[in-house]
Structure 1
Amino acid sequence: MKFLLLLAQSASAQEAAAAAPAPAGGITQFAPLIIIFVMFYFLILRPQKKKMEEEKDTLSKLSKGDEVFTKSGILGKIHGITEKVVTLEVEDGVKIKVLKGQIGGLAKSIFEEAKK
């Protein structure tokens, strides 16, 4: 009789062990998420940050007389510059004001092609 009780207890213990879920590995669950975040950072965020820093550096170095182009495609020479506004001379006597953030960059090579 004791043998049957021991056998029944052993069988129920095995069923309980089989029904309980196995403990999951802590970091292994989050490893794919961490890998995706790292890839997102290096493929998207970091290059965008570098580009923004280069653009900010270029805008801070602008001075009167520089030939620039705007993001809308206007070529001109800087006639005046303030903290937020740049006055461009697009033709002799034709001046326009644009926001400093809309300057696309220096246009030395583009300007030479436009003069031809």
Structure 2
Amino acid sequence: MLINPAFAQEAAGAAQQVAAGDPLRVLFQFLVIFVVFYFFLIRPQQKKMKEHQMMQSNVARGDTIVTSGGLVGKVIRSNADDLLVEIADGVRVVVVRDRVLGRRSQSDRTFAEEESVNDNAKKGSEGLKDVLTKK
């Protein structure tokens, strides 16, 4: 044969040593992976959760909120655990404070506000056409 049996045994022993590796090196690699996961996944998620809980606890009367069910409304009254939210004229619902997804700023328009702006724009343009066509 072309390969001497002694060389074959020596190569197999070297392969087992490489596969086993140094236990401290393997432990170090796991620690590095854990640190990377902590700083890129766990810590930012905890920070987001803390900010969200602060936002939920700071919701007050007059704030416009969005619930987890997708309802948008104005807070009429707030208690420790729940909120009374007006979602339309005369329509009020009680929402558990933990189900508030976020606050809406004054610059965000609701669908109803957009519709009223569009209706007013249509009425305004029709009125302008009437004025221009009359002689």
Residue of structure 2 equivalent to 1:88: 85
Matches of 2:110 and 2:84, distance apart in 1 = 22
Q: Deviations over 1:49-86 (max 9, x none)?
A: 01011111111221111111112211000011111111
Matches of 1:94 and 1:106, distance apart in 2 = 19
Instruction: Please give the root-mean-square deviation of Cα atoms over the aligned residues, in Å.
Output: 2.2
1:82 partner letter = N
Residue of structure 2 equivalent to 1:50: 47
TM-score by length of 2: 0.63
1:102 partner letter = R
Residue of structure 2 equivalent to 1:77: 74
Q: How much does 1:29 deviate?
A: 2.7
Residue of structure 2 equivalent to 1:29: 26
Bigger relative contact order, structure 1 or 2, given CA contacts below 8 A and separation 6+? Answer: 1
Relative to 1, partners in 2 of residues 1:101 and 1:74: Cα closer, same or farther, differing over 3 Å? same
User: Which structure 2 segments of 5+ residues have no match?
Assistant: 1-12, 115-135
SS in structure 2 of the partner of residue 73 of structure 1? coil
Matches of 2:110 and 2:56, distance apart in 1 = 23
* Alignment of 1:98 onto 2:89: no
1:105 partner letter = G
SS in structure 1 of the partner of residue 59 of structure 2? coil
SS in structure 2 of the partner of residue 89 of structure 1? strand
2:72 partner letter = L
2:100 partner letter = I
Relative to 1, partners in 2 of residues 1:56 and 1:82: Cα closer, same or farther, differing over 3 Å? same
Moved over 6 A (4+): none
Residue of structure 2 equivalent to 1:11: none
Q: Deviations over 1:10-48 (max 9, x none)?
A: xxxxxxxx9xx8xx7563230111011111111211111
